[in-house]
Amino acid sequence: MAAVRITAFPYEQDSYRFEGDALRKSWERLHKGDREAFPADAKAQAAWRAFHRGDFAEAITLGSKLKGSGANAASKAAAVAATYLVEDDKPAIQILLDAAKRADAVTRESTDDANAWYLQAFVLGRYAQRISIVKALAEGIGGRVRKALDRALKLDAKHADAHLALGLYHAEIIDKVGALGKLTYGADAGQSVKHFEQALKLNPGSAIAHMEYANGLLMLHGDAKRKQAVELYRKAAACTPADAMERLDVEQAKVELD
C-alpha cells in the first residue's frame, strides 16, 4: 500500500494533537488557507486529526475510505507527504496518482465543494512537479489544474490556497515554456503576482504562501527579484506553525535560506 512508503513526521507531534473538542476550537486557524468546513462525521474528524499531527499515512488510510471532508483529508495528506516525506519519485508519483483519482471522485460527488476542487489541483500540481512541468503540460495536466482552480475560486473567492496555487500555475508555466505559456495556457506574470498577493492578504500568517510567492518571483524575474524573494523566505521561516504541515513548510523555508 502506498502509505507504507511515507517517512514518519520528523518533528515532535505533541503540539499538533487536537483531541476531543480541541479540533473544533482550532479549526478556523488550521483551515484559514483552505476554508474546509468542520466535518460533522467523527471518522472524517479522525482523518483530519491524523493529518494535523503529521500521521499522513494514517490520514490517507482513514480518509480514502470516506467521502466529502474525509476524502479531502486524504488528498491533502497525500500531497503534503509526497512533497516532503517521500524522497523517491516512483512511490511519490503513485501516491499522487491514487490521490488524484480520489480527488476527482470528490469533485464529481460534491460539485460545489470549493476545497475539493482546490485539492484536486493541489494533488495534480504536485504530480506535475514530480514528473516535470513540461511533461505534465503534454499530458493535459495544466488544463485540468486551471479548470479546478477557476472552479474553486468561482465557488469561494476568499480561498487563499487556491489563489496561491493559481499564482504558482502562472509562474511555473512562464518559467518552463516562456511566451508560449501566455498564448497556449493563458499564463500571465501580472496575474501570477496578483494571486500571490491576494493569498497573502487572506492568510498573512501562512509560511507556504510566503515561500511560494518567493519561488514564483524567482521563476518570473530571476535575480532581479532575489532580494524580495529572500525577504519572503525569511518571513516564511519566522511563521509559527499550527500543525505538522505548517511545521514542514517552515522548516523548508529555513532550508531555502541556508
CB-CB contact of 156 with 118 (8 Å): no
pLDDT at 3: 44
Task: Give 1's pLDDT tier (boundaries 50, 70, 90).
Answer: very low
**Rounded Cα gap, residues 203 and 196, in angstroms:** 11
List, in order of start, the domains of the chain with CATH numbers: 2-257 (1.25.40.10)
CB-CB contact of 54 with 80 (8 Å): no
pLDDT at 180: 79
Model pLDDT for residues 208-242, shown as the tens digit of each residue: 999 999 999 999 999 999 999 999 999 999 999 99
CB-CB contact of 241 with 249 (8 Å): yes
**Exposed / middle / buried, residue 136 (Cβ in 10 Å: 0-12, 13-18, 19+):** buried
Task: Give 4's pLDDT tier (boundaries 50, 70, 90).
Answer: very low
Q: pLDDT exceeding 90 applies to what percent of the chain?
A: 91
In the predicted structure, residue 25 carries a pLDDT above the cut 70: yes
**Rounded Cα gap, residues 139 and 132, in angstroms:** 11
Q: Which amino acid is at 91?
A: P
pLDDT at 43: 98
**Exposed / middle / buried, residue 140 (Cβ in 10 Å: 0-12, 13-18, 19+):** exposed
Q: Which amino acid is at 145?
A: V
Contacts of residue 19, defined as CB under 8 A and 6 or more positions apart, other chains included, come to 49
For the record, the C-alpha cell of 101 comes out as 483519482
